[in-house]
Amino acid sequence: MTTQELASALGVSLRTITRDLNWLRDAGLPVTAQRGRLGGVTMPPGSGLDLTRLTPGERDHLSLTGLDEKQRAELDASVESRRALSKIMAAQSRRVHELLPLSDVVHVDSRPWLQVRASGTAPASLIGPVRRGRRLRIKYDSPRESCPHDLVVDPYGLLAKAGIWYLVADCARVPRMYRLERITTWEEVDQPRQIRENQTLATVAAALVDQWEHQHAIEVSATIDQTQIERAHRIFGRRLVRDDDHHESPTGHKVTIRFLHLEDVRALLPFGSAVTVHGPAEARAHLRDLATNLARHYAPSPTS
């Protein structure tokens, strides 16, 4: 077909056809274009990336988008992922003046800074029962409970968020995220999972993340020095809202910070006097008690 025939059939411009033909050639497809009265665009029938060269496991692992090499290794997926990617790279044609592959110039590391070695349950150990669609009985060591809880959950799957692995599951029909490092023990229950209708791992995880980012029990109004406002933004993220429309003032920036619990206001202590909390009264009282206890802890002993 000619480029004009392609443009008319697809309802696009000649420029778009030319761009798409170049894209097809870049993708390794044998597309040729011949100018002149008897010329046109030619591609042999059945041409395309031969995915039959990939094993089912390799095709499956290619769907793990967004994971870096360490996270793939934690899922025991690094070998098949690397093998699948190497096959695709081998199938791509090499062109003169080709740009360097993105994999050569972009490296992804999703782990947070200064992350300690994770304990608890490894992601790879849960893949089997989760993919079999089984219920799980877990012992979860919540930081707000004095002892681990025994729970029976219906898992949707695993979520990698900011370098941390979570089990996303319903517990008594209520969705929850459980950090794998806090799941001390688990066992597969000989029952199929019973998840809510029309819910998937993606939809449930998105709703839980949105809930966590916006849910709060207390709103603290404060003033933060100009030198510390960017640091506060990095730490509190969307939980911090500027009240002064980003206009600087001699006393600093007026903000509102949302906390899940009153105890969480201790995160303001590292800012010292660079943060002045105006309210509510219980937040000021709690910070005062925390600071007093800290000062008492480091006070010189009578014998020194």
pLDDT (tens, 9 = 90+) of the chain, 304 residues, equals 888 888 888 888 989 988 888 877 776 677 888 887 778 888 877 666 565 567 777 777 777 777 888 888 888 888 878 787 777 776 665 555 677 877 778 888 877 777 777 678 999 999 999 999 999 999 998 877 767 789 999 999 999 988 889 999 999 999 999 999 999 999 999 999 999 999 999 999 999 998 888 888 899 999 999 899 999 999 998 889 988 665 556 778 999 999 988 999 999 999 999 999 999 999 999 999 999 999 999 988 777 5
Q: Which SS3 state, helix, strand or coil, does residue 152 take? A: strand
pLDDT at 48: 62
Which residue's structure tokens are 């933060």?
224
Query: What is the DSSP code string of 169-232?
Result: EEETTEEEEEEGGGEEEEEEEEEE--PPTT--HHHHHHHHHHHHHH--SEEEEEEE-GGGHHHH
Q: Which SS3 state, helix, strand or coil, does residue 253 take? A: strand
What crossing angle do the helices spanning 14-26 and 3-10 adopt, rounded to 10°?
Answer: 100
Output the pTM of the full model.
0.67
pLDDT at 246: 52
Domain 218-297 has CATH 2.60.120: no
* CATH of region 123-199, choose from 2.40.128, 2.30.30, 3.40.1350, 3.40.720: 2.30.30
pLDDT at 10: 86
pLDDT at 279: 92
Q: Which helix (H) or strand (E) holds 257?
A: strand 253-259
pLDDT at 245: 61
Contact of 226 with 253, CB cutoff 8 Å: yes
Which residue's structure tokens are 């095709």?
59
Contact of 254 with 232, CB cutoff 8 Å: no
Round to whole Å and give the CA distance between 280 and 242.
17
Residues with Cβ within 8 Å of 165's Cβ and at least 6 positions away in sequence, in order, are: 74, 118, 123, 158, 159, 179, 180, 181
Q: Where are the domains of the chain?
A: 3-42, 51-105, 123-199, 218-297
pLDDT at 59: 77
Round to whole Å and give the CA distance between 196 and 185.
25
Contact of 140 with 182, CB cutoff 8 Å: yes
Count of residues in the chain:
304
